[in-house]
Structure 1
């Protein structure tokens, strides 16, 4: 009898004891969710306000979260916890948020992320200062961002620090400009190229952009009667940008000096032949 009982013990599967729900929250949720303020994700107070009396909707969101806030880091699925544990988490969050209020920011976007948590790279179509309504904001890896003006088909400026504060734009339902969350360190007064033609062809035509595997955009446009592509990368030390161009190669180009930067060309000269103009890079380093 004892031998049979021992055999049962040896072959019976070991069942791990489920950790308390507070530990589950700490291990899986606390890095992104605080009680009364947004960290990476919304606060427990905000979550309770959204899902109060709707545990089913909360569980569904945790299992299949969807993109919600532009530029924010997306929540991973919590399906591995299982529905019973997620329902315990729901009760835990509702109780933790009870009687608490959200800490409000004094200004700016109440849903903005700390600078170090902004997703980089990223591209956002947004009304920005000192640009046409067709401005595009690009967050580069590191601390640099830039504004590309699709209306005028050229880079407008580069800033360092955070990305953008979209609250003025969202609050006004798109009728106001976002603000720059950083300091502008380079402003480009005009398109930096001219040709040797007696009179350059005026006007511009934006042809769109494509996002590469690295998450950075390559813009296509037509200026000076030439079709261009342009891609901007940050220098590894953060002291400037590298701009990669291709053109239809139909004309020699002259690169105009710009205030506040040192410009060097992969061709070795700021006078670029038509053949060289088919593919070249310019490095802009802050002085």
Structure 2
């Protein structure tokens, strides 16, 4: 093929395609060679300075080791240094919050802004799985972004809920009420949720069957109003608004709750309504410190429904 080279003296390999496409033997440009050897030199230097080669034998626990580099740098070390820097910046704010009540934090615009920003991570880690990332409530769990509260939305009540947890309780009435009584009460609940007033007969049944003991004389879940705006409640639902604790709501949902109750042991079909306690006990992992509870209380209060 070389003897039939149509481009003699061109320094090509003698390989041709489509008559005039050919492979040349010219050396790469000088700048390219300089860059190539510089990259090789940089790789050698990098492997000396930084961790590079994995899977080297020699650790006492039998696991593989790696070259560590003469600078001693690791990504974990850099991460820890970054955390330390962040903690130094946050320390002055955390120290102030530690000596203040939640009410005082709420009244300080600067500390409030810091608390809301830093507590967003706490809420995402501990609360969002049930209550949604914005407090909108996932199916089967309460909404925190409205003004409807089972146990009250004041700072003290929110602190109690986060610290000690909550466990709803309602007796199952399947063996207590007759079918017409269940039907009447379920329709009463639906009527009240739609803004109705309820008939005298329905109110009489409501009181006679003991519903008033938990849901209150007005059906709004309030047993008494305390000085300072606090309310006394056992966590019973407000029957006078359109917010349903258990979805999808309506007649069938109300009937189901009346029949099988809430958190009733050994009752098939009972509603589950449990919030775990988040107070830290000793060094137990997965729990919140008093400082974190205080900051999370302020965050939940500011989601939109705090009292």
- For this structure pair, what is the TM-score category when the shorter chain's length is used for normalisation? under 0.3
Answer with 1 or 2: which has the greater Rg. 2
Between structures 1 and 2, the one with greater helix share: 2
Q: Which has the higher contact order (CA 8 A, sep 6+)?
A: 2
